Structure 1
């Protein structure tokens, strides 16, 4: 069985963070391990408290997994502070393992998940990961653009890692679609699914990046992993359990079953 490690925060409501990552790994029949970066008290309506894990303990969790398992892929999510970013970078920089990095800034309910002074520091991880998966808001903050024009695309193409920007909404033939754009140096590929009007989208970003990591671990190409993960999220939203009073979770199990 292939092994995938998530380095991310805990979501007490179970819809996002390492809980979503582990559900995704299991859905794709991979074995999930975790290294916690923060604990959050949250539900579908928002985050009320964040407790940071000490950087040394974050590193120890990662090292204990790596020394015992042959890890086939790593997903990095919420890092929260400069200190955690620094220790994770130092821990992964010499690894020969595919790494997917989801640079988490804010929850679906609007809660901040990254210290303001840590945004620039996230970029120091880029040389050591294979792909980053920001949403539109995160991409604009990271790459300093308002519109994804030719100049912005040129700057993105110069990055030391590949990029998929998720959740742009476009209209095609009088229908709204969710569009993800994959940048592989100078090449660009676009993935579409029909837009689902729903509040059940908690944890979609975490689950998307985790699905990419799981599929890479299973031997899929990056393009194939993105395509599968895009459809997985569409089906997981479509089959959401409709629980909670805010941004509800998705169904990882049904998402995979319906592929």
Structure 2
């Protein structure tokens, strides 16, 4: 297999028909950050900026076939995992990753921005047992971290640190606790890696157009890893990229609900 001209990242996630999250957001983030994106679709969703009206999972055989097709031909340098849909899909993805030496960024997608649940409660244990130990980085928001641990969401940085360390004990090499669901004028994320904690903070931005923030952040981190960055550098770069995408989101004017962030804010120019 010849060395690729550009770094390649693979997203394994669900499709968002509204284009703001899921596979579509991941591929946009990859492209915006100079990485070629490949995809494995685990589920179809009928959704827009207001709601999710239908979810239909891909068969385990189809998920496995897509993974084999991509890995059999493309020199994938990083993998991002998003919405997987259920226990069978989780098992299929875990098996498809077995033996592959590639960093995995796991975004435990459980609930859509609209509040619709995207991962059945009975699949949380499978996610915890089969995929957390495979992750180079786990990127939960506060409700997702609590769901994985079977507890209440953290309410302050001390709680975030404690829960992040508890999640690290479940197998991932590092955890990025995302503070977007917290309060206050400052949004704080904590990268917990071994005994080291890196604090990333930014002013909390006033916008309702935050659809796809979690997908975009994890994809941007995977893009950094595909480009050969260290985990800390990839997280820092992705954090700054996402803040810019949120700041530019109101300029898109997409949909009448929670609109998407602006993935190409560094590329598109007015006029």
TM-score by length of 2: 0.89
Q: What is the aligned partner in structure 1 of residue 257 from structure 2?
A: 246
Matched, 1:33 2:18: no
Alignment of 1:1-259 (within 5 A): 1-123=6-128, 124-146=130-152, 147=154, 148=159, 152-161=163-172, 162-168=174-180, 169=182, 171=184, 176-240=185-249, 241-255=252-266
Encode CA deviations 1:103-131: one digit per residue, 9 max, x unaligned: 10001111111112101111121111211
Deviation at 1:190, TM superposition (A): 1.1
Deviation at 1:185, TM superposition (A): 2.1
Q: Which residues of structure 1 form unaligned runs of 5+?
A: none
Q: Does structure 2 retain, via aligned residues, the 8 Å contact 1:77–1:104?
A: yes
Determine helix, strand or coil for the equivalent of 1:163. strand
Q: Does structure 1 retain, via aligned residues, the 8 Å contact 2:175–2:192?
A: yes
Determine helix, strand or coil for the equivalent of 2:101. coil
Q: What is the rounded CA distance, in whole Å, between the counterparts of 2:71 and 2:164 in structure 1?
A: 36
The 1:256–1:102 alpha-carbon spacing in structure 2 relative to 1, beyond 3 Å, is: farther
The 1:243–1:212 alpha-carbon spacing in structure 2 relative to 1, beyond 3 Å, is: same
More strand by share: 1
Q: Which residues of structure 2 form unaligned runs of 5+?
A: 1-5
Q: Does structure 1 retain, via aligned residues, the 8 Å contact 2:177–2:191?
A: yes
Deviation at 1:156, TM superposition (A): 3.0
- The root-mean-square deviation of aligned C-alpha atoms, in Å, is 1.6
Q: What is the rounded CA distance, in whole Å, between the counterparts of 1:95 and 1:115 in structure 2?
A: 27
Aligned pairs, how many?
254
Deviation at 1:149, TM superposition (A): 6.5
Determine helix, strand or coil for the equivalent of 2:70. helix
Mean Cα displacement is larger for which, 125-134 or 35-44? 125-134
Encode CA deviations 1:203-223: one digit per residue, 9 max, x unaligned: 010000000000011111111
Q: Does structure 2 retain, via aligned residues, the 8 Å contact 1:232–1:256?
A: no
